[in-house]
Amino acid sequence: MIAVIQRVTEASVTIDQQVKGAINQGLLVLLGIASEDNEEDIEWLVKKIINLRIFGDEEGKMNLSLNDVAGDILLISQFTLHASTKKGNRPSYIKAAKPDVAIPIYEHFIKIMEKQLGKPIATGEFGADMKVRLLNDGPVTIMIDTKNKQ
């Protein structure tokens, strides 16, 4: 499972010209699910995202977590995070989980994130053509791969 996490002052996702989800201060999380991802990956990644200390404290140091600033999350599924560009110029997505595997994992990720965060999160729609807007704060962008925990 790969997550690209961006600290934002605002973010939204639009599908068919309708805003599906929007947040103010918080994190935009782009989530790529691989076929071998499991419950352990979900639990570890959710905890890591929620506890990342990437928000500024009173001295301006990145020392506060999402909970510390009462921030929100906008979660977007993005299979292209598993693109392989090793051969040729057309990316291969062979590592990305197929929808029958990825959708239940994505939905479970949402439930675990909401439970750990203690409030609902905003989301896109799995497989939809989405337009994502964000105002990256910093900018701060962090990538986490659950296969590289050590």
Is 146 annotated in the active site?
no
Residue in 6, 55, 78, 123 annotated catalytic: 78
Please give the structure tokens belonging to residue 148. 């590289």
Evaluate the CA torsion angle 92, 147, 45, 6 in order and state its sign: negative
CA 1, CA 77: separation in Å to the nearest integer? 11
Residue from 79, 109, 123, 146 carrying the catalytic annotation = 79
Active site residue 78: yes
Unique residue bearing structure tokens 């999402």:
66
Q: Read off the tokens for 64.
A: 């506060």
Task: Name the residues annotated as catalytic.
Answer: 78-80
